[in-house]
Structure 1
Amino acid sequence: MSVLVEFAMFPTDKGESVSAYVSRIIKMIDKSEVPYKLTPMGTVFETETMEEALDIINKAYKQLEKDCNRVYSVVKFDIRKGKSNRLVQKIQSVEKKLGKQVSK
C-alpha cells in the first residue's frame, strides 16, 4: 500500500518568518527515513501504512507544541493499495505524457 501525504504545519504566533520552526519538522522527517519532498508550500511524504503516516503528522506537531501556542496545519492523503514509490512514479507518469525526459 502507498499512503501519499501532502501537508503544511507551522505556528501562527511566531511572526512572519517561521522557517526555523518548519525546519524542526523537516529534520524529524529526515531522521524517520521516509521518502519526502519539501516544496515552497509544504511537504509531501510517502509511507506504507496509514498508521505510519499519522505517526509522522503527530511527531510533526510534537516538534511545535512545546513552544508554540497556535499551530496551523492542512493535510491531504492519497491512499492506494497495491502500489509503492508513488512519490516518484506519479511525476514520471505526467512527464512522460508531456514528452519530457523523466526525472529520477
Structure 2
Amino acid sequence: MSVLLEFAIFPTDKGDSVSKQVSKVIKLIRESGISYQLTAMGTLIETDGLPEALALVNSCYDVLAEDSERVYTTMTIDIQKNKHNRLKTKVEAIENKIGKVNR
C-alpha cells in the first residue's frame, strides 16, 4: 500500500516568517526516515499505511504546539493498494511523457 499525504502545517501566531518553526517540522520528518519531498507550499510524505502518515502529522503538530497558541494544517491524502514508491514514480511518469512529447 502507498499512502501519499501532502500537508502544510505552521503556527499562525509567529508573524510573517515561520521558517524557523517549519524547519523543526522538516527536521522531525527527516529524522523519522519516512520518504518526503519538501515544496514551497507544503510537504509530501509516503508511508505504507494511513496510521503511520497521520502519526507523523500529529508529531509535527506536537513540535509546533510546544510554543504556539494556534497551528494551521491542511492535508490531502491519496491511498493506493498494491503500489509503492509513488513519491518518485508518479513524477517520473510525467517527466517521461513530457520527454516523449518534446522529441
What is the TM-score normalised by the length of structure 2? 0.95
Shift in Å at residue 66 of structure 1? 1.2
Q: CA offsets, 1:11-68, max 9 Å, x none?
A: 0110000000000100000010011011000000100000100110100000011110
2:40 — aligned with what? 40
**Can you give the 5+ residue segments of structure 2 that lack an aligned partner in the other structure?**
none
Q: How many residues align?
A: 100
What is aligned with 1:83? 83
Q: Does structure 1 residue 27 correspond to structure 2 residue 39?
A: no
Q: What secondary structure does 2:91 align onto?
A: helix
Equivalent residue number for residue 49 of structure 2: 49
- Bigger helix share: 2
Question: RMSD over aligned Cα, in angstroms?
Answer: 0.8
The 2-side partners of 1:62 and 1:9 are apart by: 11
The one-letter amino acid of 2:4's match is L
Alpha-carbon distance in structure 1 between the residues aligned to 2:24 and 2:89: 28
Give how far 1:8 is off. 0.3
Identity of aligned residues (%): 52
Quick one: distance in 1 between partners of 2:78 and 2:71? 23
Structure-1 residue corresponding to 2:96: 96
TM-score w.r.t. length of structure 1:
0.94
Runs of 4+ in 1 over 4 A off after TM superposition: none
